[in-house]
Amino acid sequence: MHVLIIGAAGMIGRKFAEKIALTGRVGQRNVDVLTLADIVMPDVASDFAGERRAIAADLSLAGTAKALVADQPDVIVHLAAIVSGEAEADLEKGYRINLDGTRALFDAIRHIDGYVPRVVYASSLAVFGAPFPDKIPDDFHLTPLTSYGAQKAMGELMLDDYSRRGLLDGVGIRFPTICIRPGKPNKAASSFFSGILREPLNGTEAVLPVDENVRHWHASPRAAVGFIEQAAVMDTTLLGNRRSLTMPGVSATVGDQIKALHDIAGPDVVRLIRHEPNPDIAAIVAGWPRNFEVKRAHALGFRAEASFYDIIKVYIEDELEVDKS
């Protein structure tokens, strides 16, 4: 099997590629060829036993998508995107990358006769907009309140339509906010959810820009990799024409996060969190969903952590303990 990961230099793409390199499989299917593409040259999965290709390319530029799918990969994981805060700040760039790049990819696929790959499309909870019920059901309408959410919703609709026409075999996965993200903060408005845990656990100060009663939906990077793997191998006939799924997660307030950090790491670590209100971030986050019913995803085998304690322990195991070894 040939797997193409677009956005492979990002955190989730890198971790998925590393898992393929470690196991040589996606699900129970052997991977013979692994192609990694991103705007910068991906420097991951160098220990993959099969054929590995790394490409630096901008999906939104003419001809890039055609070149990426020329060898007809069996599974395409589309993670490339401009994140929420940046897409809101730069309208043109957000639509060029998040919408035009996605359409270029889908059209490059459909122009190859008889080629119907599995396409795993990374969507977002930002496709939903307030007002929300206490728990958002699987059939809740898409009413995004940000440009990023609108771009992802458009991608979902294209995925449904191209799948309905038999041009590709799509699965859209609406990621929870991934927490705790390793590395440095990015330009996503949600970056602080990881920062207020990651930085203190690493002995440095973190800024909290919102109130502690802000509630959101979270899953770990380890769970995110599991979502992609499940989407890559699942029976898509079970999806019908609704190809996008909200992924499982943990509904927690910022206060819940801080309490879990306190219980696991102690009060001295928590004291490294500095409250510094940011009205712009608070306004964006206020329009985000907080809790979900994910019956469809659970029925199809998707799984995530059960508590924020579990999410913090995953970070310690996968990042801090690895760094010390």
Smallest Cα–Cα separation from 280: which of 187, 199, 206? 187
Q: Measure the CA dihedral 52/315/138/228, to 10°.
A: 10
Structure tokens at 187: 């330009």
- 8 Å CB contact between 218 and 311: yes
Q: Which residues pair with 78 in a beta bridge?
A: 6, 121
Q: CA of 232: how far to CAs of 13, 29, 151, 154, 183, in Å? A: 13, 10, 22, 21, 26
- 8 Å CB contact between 18 and 34: no
How many residues are listed for the chain in this entry?
A: 325
Q: CA of 19: how far to CAs of 94, 221, 277, 303, 311, in Å? A: 29, 12, 38, 17, 19
Location of structure tokens 């055609």? 66
Q: Is 121 a catalytic residue?
A: no
Nearest-angstrom CA–CA distance, 15 and 2: 17
Smallest Cα–Cα separation from 121: which of 88, 72, 158, 91? 158
Location of structure tokens 């699942």? 234
| Active-site residue (options: 148, 162, 309, 315) | 148
Coil, helix or strand at residue 152: helix
- 8 Å CB contact between 247 and 294: yes
Catalytic residues: 148
